[in-house]
Amino acid sequence: MHIGNSLSREKERFTPYNPPYVGMYVCGPTVYSNVHLGNVRTFLTFDIVYRYLLHLGFKVRYVRNITDVGHLTGDTDDGEDKIGKKARLENIEPMEVVQRYTNDFHDVMRVFHILPPSIEPTATGHIVEQISMIEKIIENGYAYASNGSVYFDVRKYAENHNYGALSGRRIDELQNQTRALDGQDEKRDPLDFALWKKADASHLMHWPSPWSEGFPGWHLECSVMSTKYLGKAFDIHGGGMDLKFPHHECEIAQNMGAHGPEEPVRYWIHGNMLTVNGRKMSKSEGNGFTPEELITGNHKLLEKGYSPMTVRFFMLQGHYAGTLDFSNPALQAAEKGLERLMTAWGLFGDLAPVDGAEGHPDVDALRDRAYAAMNDDFNTPMLIAVLYDAVKVVNSVAGGHMPITEEGISALRALFDQFAHDILGLVPETQDGAGTEDRSDHLMEVLCAVRAEAKANKDWATADLIRDRLGALGVQIKDSKDGTTWTFD
RNA sequence: GGUCUGGUGGCCGAGUGGCUAGGCUCAGCUCUGCAAAAGCUGCUACAGCGGUUCGAAUCCGCUCCAGACCUCCA
């Protein structure tokens, strides 16, 4: 298997440090507002990585954090904690903010069938560890305290480390660009970043430390929690493209500043952005959808509602490393495509072997291509193309156009179960009121029997009446040689 | 300005130095009482200009265009 490593900018063969164990860390959300679809895309990307590694038999420890403190609204010293700000605005405790949006995040993950990680640590749960990591970095000479805050000494670090290796930035160029920023009096150098910030009187979230009553810096929690649960050097670190700099660059610096020269992460994976009309989806642009808006279609940029599975499928039709543009025609195409895939998948129930000397489908070849697609940097669009070839096979067999053996059918079924279900996480969307399904199926059988009787008598008026009236209710009738089937909207 | 992505047929979106991606749309055919579904067929693209090559959309250079990051953002 090969992974596109953003550290080397090349596809590299995946070899874990300690097989069959794999450690994977993904930067989770900051829980101060609702997640939008752009966030969902990133977590979906790593859901696929996680699922595929599990499918291959790896024992994966998947750590995805919740950032519940520490990120400021701006770079200046008077910048306010986002969570604190929200708490002030809504007149509630910061931890209420955190809880509310953590719950929301979990709900959204569930709606999109994104598996929960093995460990979901929070920044506030690791204040002690963060303080001790700062102490280590100071001990090693890469950080200094100043007026109750602690800063990472980027210049000092860069003397014997390659700061900027991940993002391709050169320190001298960064220097030029940062010079203009203000509110940096405490720093020795504008490039330095905070490990600990002294809290001013208005700050709601603060903890005691050797330096001041304050709160941890922006990038520290991920270094601390990845080290704690995955070790000083682990296999995969993921996150959105927009975290590459400065967040991940700082993480590397903190890890190496604290623990020594070993690269903390072997494979960096960055998911690309979701765009809307060519623009990055973000909260400030007002072009982000919440899942609710998406499902109901209640948003000015949406022509109609789209189901979570449609969106999941749509996102998987593009490769994670490229940007993906969110548009109504593209969503509608995905909706139809998914329906065709699901319909074929549902046909397995009544698929029977068909005799024939020649023209048997080569299911082994399909499976090989499916693995080849996933092994090539989790190429889900290519996998989906393979699945569509399998759809054609299923439909041909179902239509009696193609011979197949009993083994062929079960191999085909396994292909769908493993790749569409286990790996892509696609499941048929449940109709409202699952408990009523049996009864409505029985009712449909009755109606179809009546209609078959009418058709046998060439009473087309009655047959069409039944079909049209059911169609108006959202039930599609499809006749074939072997009988009649139906689908619900 | 720097760093980094990308520009593919009507739309979305893969990929590869030479051989059909796939989905959606559209047209035709088969099947069918009609319809739908399904199957088959067609619409054959790779920003522009140079270069390397027997051969490039795929490699190299330049140009143009778009986007992201460089301040919090998945």
Strand B bases near protein CB (under 7 Å) are 1-6, 11-15, 21-25, 31-40, 66-74
Shortest CA distance to A253 belongs to which of A133, A126, A173, A121?
A133
Q: With a cut of 50, say whether residue A127 has pLDDT above it.
A: yes
Q: Compare A40 and A359 and report the one with higher pLDDT.
A: A40
Averaged over A103-124, what is the pLDDT?
94
Residues A232 and A298 in one domain: no
Averaged over A189-193, what is the pLDDT?
87
**Whole-number mean pLDDT of chain A?**
87
CATH number of residue A267's parent domain? 3.40.50.620
Residues A266 and A322 in one domain: no
Q: For residue A437, what pLDDT is reported?
A: 57
Q: With a cut of 70, say whether residue A470 has pLDDT above it.
A: yes
Averaged over A436-446, what is the pLDDT?
69
Give pLDDT tens digits for A355-410.
887 788 899 999 999 999 999 999 999 999 999 999 999 999 988 888 999 999 99
pLDDT-based confidence at residue A200 (cuts at 50, 70, 90): confident
Q: What percent of chain A clears pLDDT 90, i.e. is strictly above it?
A: 51
CB contact set of A193 (below 8 Å; sequence gap of 6+): A151, A152, A154, A217, A218, A219, A246, A250
Distance CA A260, CA A252 (A): 11
Averaged over A246-262, what is the pLDDT?
92
**List of A residues 323-352 with CB within 7 A of strand B:** 323-325, 327, 329-330, 332-334, 336-337, 340, 343
pLDDT-based confidence at residue A428 (cuts at 50, 70, 90): confident
For residue A27, say whether its CB is under 7 Å from any atom of strand B.
yes
Q: With a cut of 70, say whether residue A171 has pLDDT above it.
A: yes
Both structure tokens of A220: 């520290």
| Boundary of a domain, candidates A255, A271, A287 | A271
Q: For residue A279, what pLDDT is reported?
A: 83
For residue A481, say whether its CB is under 7 Å from any atom of strand B.
yes
Averaged over A345-353, what is the pLDDT?
85
Q: Which domain holds residue A194?
A: 2-271
In SS3 terms, A212-274 reads as CCEEECCCHHHHHHHHHHHCCCEEEEEEEHHHHHHHHHHHHHHHHHHHCCCCCEEEEEEECCE
For residue A246, cis peptide bond before it (omega within 30 degrees of 0)? yes
Range of lowest pLDDT (A162-171, A255-264, A309-318, A372-381): A162-171
CATH number of residue A322's parent domain? 1.20.120.640
Residues A407 and A444 in one domain: no
Q: With a cut of 50, say whether residue A181 has pLDDT above it.
A: no
Give pLDDT tens digits for A303-335.
889 999 999 999 999 999 988 988 889 999 999
Q: For residue A126, what pLDDT is reported?
A: 95
Residues A348 and A480 in one domain: no
Residues A265 and A281 in one domain: no
Residues A237 and A357 in one domain: no
Q: For residue A385, what pLDDT is reported?
A: 94
Nucleotide nearest to A38 (CA to C1'): B74
Note the CA–C1' distance, A390 to B20, in angstroms: 16
For residue A457, say whether its CB is under 7 Å from any atom of strand B.
no
The rounded Cα A41 to chain-centroid distance in angstroms is: 5
Residues A80 and A96 in one domain: yes
Q: Compare A444 and A75 and report the one with higher pLDDT.
A: A444
Distance CA A316, CA A310 (A): 10
Q: For residue A355, what pLDDT is reported?
A: 85
Residues A282 and A408 in one domain: yes
pLDDT-based confidence at residue A184 (cuts at 50, 70, 90): low
Q: With a cut of 90, say whether residue A293 has pLDDT above it.
A: no
Question: Which helix (DSSP H) or strand (DSSP E) does residue A195 occupy?
Answer: strand A193-198
For residue A190, say whether its CB is under 7 Å from any atom of strand B.
no
Q: For residue A80, what pLDDT is reported?
A: 66
Averaged over A16-24, what is the pLDDT?
95
Residue A279 lies in a domain: yes
For residue A114, say whether its CB is under 7 Å from any atom of strand B.
no
Averaged over A410-422, what is the pLDDT?
94
Averaged over A438-443, what is the pLDDT?
71
Counting the structural domains of chain A, the total is: 3
Residues A324 and A464 in one domain: no
Residue A428 lies in a domain: no
Q: For residue A72, what pLDDT is reported?
A: 58
Residue A483 lies in a domain: yes
| Boundary of a domain, candidates A271, A291, A306 | A271
Residues A337 and A475 in one domain: no
Residues A17 and A163 in one domain: yes
Q: With a cut of 50, say whether residue A243 has pLDDT above it.
A: yes
Q: For residue A79, what pLDDT is reported?
A: 54
Residues A59 and A182 in one domain: yes
